Amino acid sequence: MANLKELSKQKELFTGGHRGCAGCGAVMVARQVLMAAGPNTVVASATGCLEVISTIFPFTSWNVPFVHSAFENAGATISGVEALYKSWVRQGKYDKKLNFIAFGGDGGTYDIGLQSLSGAMERGHNILYVCYNNEAYMNTGVQRSGATPKGADTTTAPVGKVKKGKEQYRKDLTAIMIAHGIPYAAQSIAGNWRDLTSKVEKALSIEGPKFINVFQPCRLGWSFEPELTCEMGRLAADTCVWPLFEVVDGQYKITYKPKVKKPVSEWVKLQGRFRNMLKPENKALLDDLQNFTDRQWEALLKKEAASIPQA
């Protein structure tokens, strides 16, 4: 379990001075992941918000070796770096233990970078891939992605007289990664530092490919007040819109169960992208999101129960 006192003593590996929006969840994710990983870490980052706001020449917020990849190939890039490292170790040219971490937004992970990520997972590289999932292409204009929830307003699936936001349910990328048979996969949020850093520590202690899908509220694309970023993440967990769990060698464990499961409306009402759902005539949209959330949560509870050894 991550210790805040010890983490706070470490050198900042992702520094301030970046160009992130006020309340940006992506910079929280990067900072906390690197706090848990430590200085012996190599990072690859897909093009996206995190890369753009942290590497404007001639400045950088990264105090670790950093490789910028295109939208589609962060998985391949970090795989190549890890393969080179293993070659150097075999040749006796290098003996220090390193962590290899790739960051990508949902656009560069769920969609554009899925093939590269899948290949890295299937080949078994000793890497950790972290998706900072803000549920749309925020860097290029808030277009819908495979992670965008049904009913959300985006620039390419807008709310209007004919359409009422995105018409499809979001893709379950965490399940797709689990289906690769990798030794560790998890979901976390921006807003629960202990859950995220503990999962990063556990992932990096395991040999092989690892994946963490981090729910990252975006105050620009979601339209909420910037001081609510962490609260938005915690509400996602409290409503079970984004459950916190991990899968170790196929065994499911839910790492946070709300004492009282809040209705999805508590999360929706704080976001401008869902304003259409709050109109009385569109109650069916809100009910659909609630029913989808309930089904996903119940399915997860069953998977955890099936993972518990029977006496």
Going by pLDDT thresholds of 50, 70 and 90, the confidence category of residue 311 is: low
Other CB atoms within 10 Å distance of the CB of residue 259:
5
Q: What percent of the chain has pLDDT over 90?
A: 93
Tokens of 199: 């999962």
- By three-state DSSP, how is residue 50 classified? helix
Q: Using 50, 70 and 90 to split pLDDT, how confident is the model at 264? A: very high
**Is 226 a residue whose pLDDT tops 80?**
yes
pLDDT at 11 over 80: yes
pLDDT tens string 15-53: 998 999 999 999 999 999 999 999 999 999 999 999 999
| CB 247 within 8 Å of CB 186 | yes
Task: Please say whether the beta carbons of 300 and 247 come within 8 A.
Answer: no
The Cα–Cα gap between 167 and 157 comes to: 8
Assign 120 a pLDDT band (cuts: 50, 70, 90): very high
DSSP secondary structure of 95-124: ----EEEEEEEHIIIIITTHHHHHHHHHHT
**Alpha-carbon span 162 to 266, nearest angstrom:** 27
CA distance 29 to 97: 23
Nearest to 128 by CA among 152, 98, 151: 98
- Which token pair is 108? 């560069």
Distance CA 236, CA 267 (A): 7
Instruction: Tell me the mean pLDDT in the region 112-120.
Output: 97
CA-to-CA distance for 51 and 20, rounded, in angstroms? 10
In 3-state terms, what secondary structure has residue 88? Answer: helix
Domains in the chain, start-ordered, CATH in brackets? 4-307 (3.40.50.970)
Distance from C-alpha of 243 to C-alpha of 234, rounded to nearest angstrom: 10
β-pairing, 41-46 with 99-105?
Answer: parallel
Q: How far apart are CA 277 and CA 164, in angstroms?
A: 9
